[in-house]
Amino acid sequence: MKQSRLLYGGRIRPEPFKRDFIRFRSLTPERPLQYLSMDIKYVHVHGTGRNALLLTVIDIYSRKVLIHMLRNSIKKGDVLVMLSLMLMEYRAEGMTLRNDNGSQFIAGAVRQYLKDKRILQEFSRCHA
């Protein structure tokens, strides 16, 4: 392939996308479901010697956990399923979802889903 010049010659990179980063570290929401926070935490499972992953969406106004998922691994499909289930119960109107820059959250399918539902997605700043 190299002799026939069929190789690209460079690394193929996905097209960059614009991320809306968090402008204010602390918020003072005026109503429930205005700002949500989504994050994944490690939870040690006693007796197994392993960690599980806990994906949680919390309402910043009320500090209520709206939905959570505990799995051995969490991928973009799991995030999409959980968001779909959450939106069956809660209205997305005027909602902003904050999350970090994890691969599950920056996946194109997740960003597009939130855009289709008119939910603004904000990313935390990357620390150098």
Q: What is the CATH number of the domain that holds 66?
A: 3.30.420.10
At position 78, the amino acid (one-letter code) is D
pLDDT (tens digit, 9 = 90+) per residue, 73-126? 999 999 999 999 999 999 988 899 999 989 999 999 999 999 999 999 999 876
Q: Which of 97, 98, 42, 49 is nearest to 71 (CA)?
A: 42
Domain presence at residue 35: yes
Higher pLDDT, 116 or 23: 116
Cα Dmax for the chain: 64
DSSP reduced 3-state for 54: strand
- Which of these, 33, 14, 27, 16, lies nearest to 124 by C-alpha position? 27
Whether pTM > 0.85 for this model: the answer is no
Domain membership flag for residue 16: no
User: Where in the sequence is the domain holding 60, given as residue range(s)?
Assistant: 28-123
Q: Do the domain assignments include residue 101? A: yes
